[in-house]
Chain A
Amino acid sequence: MKITKELILHIAELSHLKLKEDEIEKFQIELNQILEYVDNLNEIDTSSIEPLSHPLPIVNVFREDRVEKSITREEALKNAPEATDEFFKVPKVI
Chain B
Amino acid sequence: MIVEKVENYLKRIQDKKHLNAFLEVFSEESIQRANQLEKKIHNGESVGKLCGTVVAVKDNIAIKDKKLTCGSKILENFTSLYNATVIEKLLAEDAIIIGKTNLDEFAMGSSNENSAFGIVKNPYDEKRVPGGSSGGSAVAVASEMCDVALGSDTGGSIRQPAAFCGVYGLKPTYGRVSRFGLVAFASSFDCIGLIARDSISLAKTLNVISGYDLKDSTSSNQKVPEYDSIIQNLPKDNITFGVPVEFFNDGLQSDIKNKIFEIIEFLKSNSFQILEISLPHIKYSIADYYLLTTAEASSNLSRYDGVKYGSRIELPQSIKDLYTQTRDEYFGNEVKRRIMLGTFVLSAGYYDAYYLKAQKVRRLIQNDFIDAFNKVDFIISPTTPTTAFKIGEKTDNPLSMYLSDIYTTSANLAGLPAINIPIGFDSNKLPIGMQLMANFFKEDLLLQMSYFIENNFNKNKLGN
Contact = CB atoms under 8 A, between A and B. Distances in A.
A84 interface: no
A54 B186 CA distance: 11
Interface of A: 1, 3, 7-8, 10-12, 14-20, 23, 27, 30-31, 33-34, 37-38, 40-42, 44, 46, 49-56, 58, 60-61, 63, 71, 75-76, 78-82, 88, 90-91, 93
B337 A27 contact: yes
Contacts of A17: 324, 327-328, 331, 336, 339-340
20 contacts: A16-B324, A17-B324, A31-B341, A38-B287, A41-B288, A50-B363, A51-B359, A51-B363, A52-B359, A52-B362, A52-B363, A52-B366, A55-B414, A55-B415, A56-B174, A56-B220, A71-B82, A81-B307, A91-B322, A93-B319
B325 to A, nearest CB: 5
Contacts of A1: 353
Contact of A44 (B81, B298, B354, B361): B361
Given A17-B336, A40-B284, A88-B308, A56 B415 contact: yes
B399 A34 contact: yes
B311 interface: yes
Contact of A91 (B189, B316, B359): B316
A12 B325 CA distance: 11
Contacts of B217: 58, 60-61
* Secondary structure type dominating chain B contacts: helix
A46 B357 contact: yes
B142 interface: no
A70 B287 CA distance: 41
B58 interface: no
A11 B360 contact: no
Nearest to B301: A15
Given A16-B327, A52-B362, A81 B312 contact: yes
Contacts of B340: 8, 11-12, 15, 17, 27, 31
B364 interface: yes
B309 A37 contact: no
A40 B287 contact: yes
Interface string B288-302: 101100000010001
